[in-house]
Amino acid sequence: MFLQSIGTAVPPRAFSQTEVFTALQATPKFQELTTRSRAILRKVLSNQNGIETRHFALEQMADAFVFEPDKMMARFQKHAPALAKAAAREALRNSGLKLADIDALLVATCTGYICPGLTSYLSQSLGLSSSLTFLDLVGLGCGAALPALQQASALIASGQARHALVVCVEICSAASYLDDDPGVLISACLFGDGAAAAIVSSQPPNTKRKVRIVKSTSHLEPAHRDHLRFDHKNGLLRNLLAPEVPTLAARHARTVFERAGLHEKDITGWVWHAGGRDVLSALRKEFHLKEKDTQHSTEVLRRHGNMSSPSCLFALRSAIENGVPDGNWWLASFGAGFSSYGALLEVRS
């Protein structure tokens, strides 16, 4: 299966970490937190943590701290279809394909729930065929891009589709929460809104660089489920993030990599989900990498924060467009579950 193109989209407004903390300080919720919790937020948002700005689907930053279920769900319902459409349109433009060429649509998200799913809204707004194959993937967390691509690959291999459009969209500002749990507080400092779309086909694209998805592997470790997952409190999603996550991310990424039968010397390009500064540091240590080996993921994190499922596609686009050498690349994502995914890419000019 070949990657035809990638399109990305973020809300127009970017907020610095300093702006986030200034707005947060002025809210009643901030005063309800313990002194220790306020100190954690101050430290993370005021120091260098690998993130400079995040994009949010908000008119003003203070809106992010109005924790009312109906308003937060309305934010997801309004902005998720719009961001997904923007990313999908860019992927279509970059591919040179026509709308009529798309015969499968897969949309992944974990930051909101609507029924029918986003495939209904996106297929209508794009004007896709009513006979296309469609699938909504909900609840896979930050790792969702790779299992979505796996499913697209299966549709193409089986002959059910020729060109599949895969969209990952997250309105993390609609799934934020604050309380005195340190992991919940760290999550509020990491996540941003964004969408990424990829088109995959059985035939190579008419582009300078050709990316073929050779094989993919995955690993699920339910014993570590509670280290990284959503739960519900007061009618809202609440992200649980344990201190062990960077170590677990690196460990399970190693499992997936070895399951694919690969060795580090086989890989010329590394593309990781930008889960956080400490996550990328743990991955570099585990795989004996230098900072330049994760520079594209690092740059995504710096400019956008952790956008959950779209992040690894943002990093992949950057790697393709910005000079990572041809050869065998390793694309990896991980998230709730604890789940971990990897794909071997063959990149040739």
- 51 shares its domain with 116: yes
Could you list the beta-strand ranges (E) of 56-205.
104-109, 133-138, 163-170, 194-201
267 lies in which domain range? 210-348
Query: In this structure, are 188 and 223 located in the same domain?
Result: no
Give me the number of domains the chain comprises.
2
Instruction: State mean pLDDT over 214-222.
Output: 96
My answer on whether 95 and 20 are in the same domain is: yes
327-335 vs 339-348, strand pairing mode: antiparallel
What amino acid occupies position 175?
A
From 143, 177, 201, the end of a domain falls on 201
Within this chain, do residues 61 and 188 fall inside the same structural domain, yes or no?
Answer: yes
Residues 148 and 289 in one domain: no
The answer on 269 and 180 residing in a single domain is no
Domain shared by 102 and 239, yes or no: no
CATH number at residue 233: 3.40.47.10
Same-domain status, 174 and 282: no
The predicted model scores a pTM of 0.96
**In 3D, which of 230, 224, 289 has the Cα closest to residue 252?**
224
Q: Does the structure show a pLDDT above 90 at 49?
A: no
Looking at the structure, do residues 129 and 232 belong to the same domain, yes or no?
no
State the average pLDDT for the chain: 95
Q: What's the CA gap between 310 and 307, in Å, rounded?
A: 6
Same domain? For 324 and 219 the reply is: yes
Contact 342, 221 (CB under 8 A): no
Q: Tell me the C-alpha distance between 71 and 108, whole Å.
A: 22
* 100 and 187 both lie in a single domain: yes
Can you give the pLDDT at residue 112?
A: 95
Burial of residue 16 (number of CB atoms within 10 Å: 0-12, 13-18, 19+):
middle
Domain final residue pick, 201, 223, 243: 201
Q: What is the pLDDT of residues 273-313, one digit of tens each?
A: 999 999 999 999 999 999 999 999 999 999 999 999 999 99
The predicted-structure confidence for 9-28, as pLDDT tens digits, reads as follows: 999 999 999 999 999 999 99
Boundary residue ending a domain (201, 236, 254):
201
State the pLDDT at residue 208. 81
Going from the C-alpha of 272 to that of each of 281, 293, 294, the distances in angstroms are 11, 10, 7
Based on the fold, state whether residues 143 and 24 are members of the same structural domain: yes
